[in-house]
Structure 1
Amino acid sequence: MEGANTLPIKLQPSNLRPIAYRIFSKKHGLNIKTDALALLTEVVGYKFSFEWKGAKSQQFLEEVAKIWKIEDRGLFIDGPGLKQVLKELNTKSVASASAHRSHSTESGEITDKATRMDTLIDVEEEEEAINWEEYFKVINPSEQPPCTFDRHRKQFKLQADSKKHKNLLESLPNNLQNTIELFNNRYYLLFDRLSRNENFQKASFSSISSINKSLTSGNIANEITLIKNVLGRDGSKFILFGLLGKDAKDSYILEDCTDYIELNLSQTYKTEGSFYCPGMFVIVEGIYSASGRSSNQSNNYIGGCFHVSNIGHPPAERRDVSSENYGNLDFLGIHKQIGNTAVNEKVLKINKTLRRKLTSLEKTLLHHKFILLGSECYLDDFKILDGLKKFFHKLENDIIESQESEEKNTPLAIVMTGSFSCRALTTTNSLVSNISNSENYKSHFDNLANILSNYPNVTSTCKFILMPGKNDPWQSSYALGGSAMNYFPQKPVPRVFVSRLERLLPKGNLILGWNPVRINYLSQEILILKDDLMNKFKRNDIIFSNDLEAEKENLKRELSQDNKERINSIVRDGGGGEHIPTKIKQARKLVKTVLDQGTLQPFLKDLKLVNAEYDYVLRIEPLPSVMIFNDVNFDNFEVTYNGCKVVNVTRLLSPSNRKLNYVEYYPSNKRFEFKELYF
């Protein structure tokens, strides 16, 4: 029997073929290849010994078939794919199997069958050392697998028709159907996250007495109710979840998958530490009134009004928890590129054993670092060019010193963020002017190439990642450098403008990134975004009546205090560590809002144009390991929320003095160092 201390047996594939055919082919419609049958035969012989024909062995084959079909791996079971499925099954049994592990004897240690199976599957990976360079990739949106959330299966799936998808990507982001799906996908994904949160679980009662006790005490579970289910229940209290927006009469509404309802926010208290803007998904608590609707509503509106007492955001979930719930999918496709997985495989998985190895390896690479220069790197500004000369000169000397001391403290990549021109590259009515504008823009990168040609160690060892801004082509040709007409994600700087820079750098060292862009470094996902998020949140943040009342009370209290009391209050708050600078509070609000919303653009289409076909690129679910904002209208900051470290890198050149701003990131311990270089 399984689990007994019996030696494994050596089976032949011909022995197992009839059973495998009956279970895989006749019952589940799958075809097993020769290499997969050989692997399965060896595993069954190790795991079940002389009971390889028994019920437990057949149940094991059933589980393999079910997982293969659930993960939609195709009709043909191959060796590499089967190895991944077996490792998943084995992970669940190793913990219990280790409790029965046999002890050493004079003739040697006889390990249990779970350990034997684990060794059998992992032996190839143990022998082959991991090359960290294979797991360091820059992933643009065009290279990221287009995974969408399936609300019925509660899992992500890969879009099957890649050619059709690429054609759709070129279309303008004004397709109504795509826009509707954009918000639908966000809604169902956030609702699925809430369903796992212990604060929003359905009530369960074991007896009638417990029901009566709950009703009399008022301790009703925080179950989220669909809007359609509140109709006809006048005066009842509910918790709703949906999209916050406005109707044609400028009244606030909440919309979910079933209906919408007007909101009365006159007595609303918000959960502190977040922004609240139209286009965000929020949780509201309050009382439904069948007759409390606004007079602005049309006559055929019978939904009543929802008087909101409290409003908040759907709380974010840690990266490891989300990854586990969604089957440890590889959303960047990095492991598919490296492995021998079939090109048409529809489910990308991250092996847990490999993830642990990558995490352990990155902790040993203490000398690895990334350098992120501040944004608005105007290559037509002589001050910035002088600053870049000083920066690259310093970096060249540092690389030479590290090579002499064998520390190898060389940056893996230097991220340069646009706009790369002070003025937008726009079209004119004159063909001569168009050519002149393009030539001027190209000359900016020629200037950068001239500077870098003096620093051979920098160019030969570092990758350069260029991320565009609002003044960069071709988007600037119709947006005229304005952020309102820019849509996300933004395509990279065209290669035609960087030909000289590309010839200077070794092949593969110049990477033209999109905005946003992701970097996969071993086990980490690093997301870089350039946008004026803080200004957008502040301009569109809802001002609640209770907020105004609180401000008035604070103002009255301050005016009633004399100078001595006011000074003592400030000293007391500062000395006790309770006083938090306003900019830190604002940074925390920004980070919490974006991560809770699970998207980089939690706005309506009138605030930010989003290419709906690229919605999966803007999704941050699961959370990245690290997020790097490039918001030039806000200071540098570093905030950690739910295990995700978020930093902001401000403008490259300080407007008040000749000071260059940049950040160094050390992925081995997720440490950021903000640097300033005077020149």
Structure 2
Amino acid sequence: MNKSNIISAFSIHGFTLRREALNYLQQEIDSLGVDQRKEALQSILDHVNGQNLSSSMLEKSVIESAVKNFYHANDVDEVPLNVFDAFSFVRYTYDLDSKRFIKWDTLHKKPSSLHGSPDSKANIFREIFKVIQQRTIRHHLFAPPAISEGSNQNQAYTLFTVEHVLGSSSKDTNIIVLGMLTQLKEGQFYLEDPTGVVRLNLSKTTYKGGLFTENSIVMVEGNYEDRVFYVSALGFPPAESADVSLSFFQTFHPASSEHSYIHRLSDDLKRSEQIHGDAMFVFLSDVWLDQLKVMQKLQILFAGYSLMPPTVFVLIGNFLSLSGVGSSSKVFEECFSKLGQLISEFPRLVTESQFVIVPGPDDPGVPYVLPRPAIPFSYVGDFKKKVPNAIFASNPCRLQYYSQDILIFREDIISKMCRNSIYTPWEYEEKVDIPSLFVKSVIGNAHLLPLALNVAPRYWEYDYALWLYPLPDVVVCADKYDPYTVTSNNCTFFNPGSLPRSNFAFKVYFPAARQVEDSEISDETLS
């Protein structure tokens, strides 16, 4: 590859290479095969774009780091499965000036802390609003066409701010505003964005599908008059698939490895998924280890899979049937020891399957605050000795399997959102698909918990661990609600259901086919 091609590629992105950096980069690219050179140059450019550089003049050290990243990224398929803890996710912030995501530590020079400052609470809503705003203004409905053809079909809608609405001297009609739904006074809702707040009148509002809760980010359409915004329609911001998000922000990914973002864009890893076409992930929730019937069903399950071990068993809490008992270390320890003994009776499962343990709301640890750390080893007895390859993960956590990103979350979220929704569609419609409304709501908000903090407490400075941007390939929302599977924007949401409450139902995911299968533990065999 000649130098002019390299210079041109970097200049398009606003960068200039110093002579020694250019010579080094050309030498490294020329050492690759002809079919690899274009991919290598793009990967190096992506890495440079993801850095918070103070100058557009690139030194050799910057290029060396980018080249090292490229070589490291191409080795990622050596480990097909990675489990990422929520507290190890990389925190990003969207920079309005450069229109890109920058690592929070790089910009603010301080790591996240469990004990946040007063600004941390405001940052929860400010940061997720910026994510949704940049996604919305890029949508074809709001982005002006590159070339006007004089047709109304090409005219984009205009997205206004609250400040614009408040500053209007005349009656504005049919305007659209993006903001957060708040209740500053009892029974009175407002729309808030970084520029201001306006009172809403929802008496004649048409709701465009979803579960609209306080602190959720919504789009309102209507008229502004006499200091009140009369809402004619209320809906969620347009969603965006991961393919679209990653086409703009290839270096933005919440997993802990700085190289891990590359896995979703790698054709090599996608081919590896197809080679391992028999891989399967088994998901079970509310695995009540203190119930004899549950332990008997688990024995049937493990025996059924012992001849063909799954790639991963994901066991999700709660792990005891009675709330509050989880605080008793003795009871919990005894139950996990029994589970370890049961699994050890099937040597192939111990050696060939990975076990991932995700805590529930009532399991040991800090109660009812998210993200929730992994179950402490002091509570699991000798389980780790019997099942040494088990991983105790946080709630939520992420699994990276070759090119796929799988997010696991345990919370009874649907019931909370239904209870706190300002509009209850089931009161006005005969048939309502609650899981689909839930999925639409969380995707629209790019967040697993679009709820007020008093309803869904979380650590202020770790709220980003609950973001849904870019969308994962799979989101497992383990809930005591009935099992469901919903696909939207190329992302599959499913709930395995509460094992004892759903006739011992569970879900099996096949990564190669990207399909979810409903399963059930019968008294004798798997069905």
Find the partner of 1:183 among 120, 125, 132: 125
Q: Distance in 1 between matches of 2:441 and 2:324?
A: 33
Change (3 A) 1:146 1:204: closer
Find the partner of 1:359 among 270, 282, 286: 270
> Which stretch has the larger CA shift, 664-673 or 69-78?
69-78
2:321 aligned with 1:411: no
Change (3 A) 1:84 1:331: farther
Counterpart in the other structure of 1:269: 206
Change (3 A) 1:333 1:543: closer
Q: Distance in 2 between matches of 1:651 and 1:289?
A: 49
2:299 aligned with 1:386: no
Q: Distance in 1 between matches of 2:99 and 2:334?
A: 51
Contact 2:509 2:515 (C-alpha < 8 Å) held by counterparts: yes
Query: Which residue identity lines up with residue 671 of structure 1 in the other structure?
Result: Q
Alignment of 1:444-523 (within 5 A): 444-476=335-367, 486-506=368-388, 509-523=389-403
SS at match of 1:197: coil
Q: Distance in 1 between matches of 2:357 and 2:31?
A: 54
Q: Distance in 1 between matches of 2:442 and 2:19?
A: 45
SS at match of 2:218: strand
Counterpart in the other structure of 1:239: 176
Query: Which residue identity lines up with residue 179 of structure 1 in the other structure?
Result: K
How far apart are residue 149 of structure 1 and its match?
2.2
Q: Distance in 2 between matches of 1:82 and 1:605?
A: 40
Query: Which residue identity lines up with residue 156 of structure 1 in the other structure?
Result: F
Listed one character per residue, the Cα deviations across residues 289-318 of structure 1 (whole Å, up to 9, x for unaligned) are 02xxxxxxxxxxxxx100111111001101
Contact 2:201 2:228 (C-alpha < 8 Å) held by counterparts: yes
Query: Which residue identity lines up with residue 322 of structure 1 in the other structure?
Result: S
How far apart are residue 351 of structure 1 and its match?
7.6
Change (3 A) 1:388 1:41: closer
How far apart are residue 83 of structure 1 and its match?
3.4
Change (3 A) 1:595 1:386: same
Query: Which residue identity lines up with residue 606 of structure 1 in the other structure?
Result: N
Listed one character per residue, the Cα deviations across residues 557-602 of structure 1 (whole Å, up to 9, x for unaligned) are xxxxxxxxxxxxxxxxxxxxxxxx64xx212111111111100110
Query: Which residue identity lines up with residue 357 of structure 2 in the other structure?
Result: L
Unaligned runs of 5+ in 1: 9-18, 47-60, 88-121, 291-303, 338-348, 400-409, 428-433, 477-485, 555-580
Counterpart in the other structure of 2:95: 150
Give the TM-score, by structure 2 length: 0.84
How far apart are residue 66 of structure 1 and its match?
11
How far apart are residue 28 of structure 1 and its match?
6.9
How far apart are residue 669 of structure 1 and its match?
1.1
Q: Distance in 2 between matches of 1:134 and 1:491?
A: 24
Change (3 A) 1:262 1:376: same
Listed one character per residue, the Cα deviations across residues 345-386 of structure 1 (whole Å, up to 9, x for unaligned) are xxxx6288x61111122122111111111x211111111111
Counterpart in the other structure of 1:197: 139
Contact 2:507 2:518 (C-alpha < 8 Å) held by counterparts: yes
How far apart are residue 453 of structure 1 and its match?
2.4
Contact 1:30 1:76 (C-alpha < 8 Å) held by counterparts: yes
Change (3 A) 1:159 1:143: same
Query: Which residue identity lines up with residue 627 of structure 1 in the other structure?
Result: V
SS at match of 1:179: helix
Alignment of 1:514-663 (within 5 A): 514-543=394-423, 582=432, 585-632=433-480, 634-654=481-501, 659-663=503-507
Change (3 A) 1:147 1:662: same
What is the number of equivalent residue pairs in this alignment? Answer: 502
Q: Distance in 1 between matches of 2:517 and 2:482?
A: 14
Contact 1:144 1:332 (C-alpha < 8 Å) held by counterparts: yes
2:510 aligned with 1:666: yes
- Structure number with the higher strand fraction is 2
Q: Distance in 2 between matches of 1:611 and 1:28?
A: 41
Query: Which residue identity lines up with residue 271 of structure 1 in the other structure?
Result: K
Listed one character per residue, the Cα deviations across residues 513-548 of structure 1 (whole Å, up to 9, x for unaligned) are 11111100111100111111211121112238x997
Find the partner of 1:83 among 64, 67, 90: 67
Change (3 A) 1:312 1:638: same
Change (3 A) 1:654 1:321: same
Contact 2:114 2:462 (C-alpha < 8 Å) held by counterparts: no
Contact 1:413 1:462 (C-alpha < 8 Å) held by counterparts: yes
Q: Distance in 1 between matches of 2:130 and 2:452?
A: 17
Q: Distance in 2 between matches of 1:202 and 1:335?
A: 34
How far apart are residue 419 of structure 1 and its match?
1.0
2:322 aligned with 1:440: no
Change (3 A) 1:146 1:529: same
2:85 aligned with 1:140: yes
SS at match of 1:350: helix
Alignment of 1:393-432 (within 5 A): 393-396=303-306, 398-399=307-308, 410-425=309-324
How far apart are residue 248 of structure 1 and its match?
2.4
Query: Which residue identity lines up with residue 382 of structure 1 in the other structure?
Result: L
Q: Distance in 1 between matches of 2:415 and 2:46?
A: 50
Contact 1:269 1:309 (C-alpha < 8 Å) held by counterparts: yes
Change (3 A) 1:393 1:163: farther
SS at match of 2:399: strand
Find the partner of 1:370 among 262, 265, 281: 281
Query: Which residue identity lines up with residue 138 of structure 1 in the other structure?
Result: V
How far apart are residue 333 of structure 1 and its match?
3.9
How far apart are residue 417 of structure 1 and its match?
0.7
Query: Which residue identity lines up with residue 395 of structure 1 in the other structure?
Result: Y
SS at match of 1:491: coil
Q: Distance in 1 between matches of 2:484 and 2:357?
A: 22
Change (3 A) 1:66 1:391: closer
Q: Which has the higher contact order (CA 8 A, sep 6+)?
A: 2
Counterpart in the other structure of 2:262: 350
Structure with greater Cα Rg? 1
Counterpart in the other structure of 2:158: 223
- Structure number with the higher helix fraction is 1
SS at match of 1:542: coil
